[in-house]
Amino acid sequence: MCTGGELFDELATNNNLSEETTSVVAQQIISAVCYLHKQNIVHRDLKPESIMIESKKSKIIKLIDFGASTVLSLNKKEKLKEVVGSPYYIAPEVLMGNYDEKCDNWSIGIIIYTMLAGRPPF
């Protein structure tokens, strides 16, 4: 149970996060996504609404919402074609319909920018 709510709610309440908190949260997001990628899983819909905070006093996060995720074949050269994701966080290559697990990296960058600036970059 994550009583801290969504990262989105935290950003809506506080507008942005400190550099220290952003660093701690970003490291956990990157670690979770790295683990997924090693398991050949692409999340494809990373956004602040998909990140839960364990408690109000904690900086521990949990990655959720795997409804758009997919498993790549063991052949890492596979390219995905289906356009899925949330508009603010979707990678350009997803919109072009020719992408791989690296699309999650774009979304992480947008999330980090949003945590620091208090708004999406676009």
One-letter identity of residue 89:
Y
Q: Is 65 a catalytic residue?
A: no
Angle between the 7-14 and 103-117 helix axes, to the nearest 10 degrees? Answer: 30
Q: Which of 45, 65, 100, 104 is catalytic?
A: 45
- Exposed/middle/buried for residue 100 (C-beta within 10 Å: 0-12, 13-18, 19+): middle
- Active site residue ranges: 45
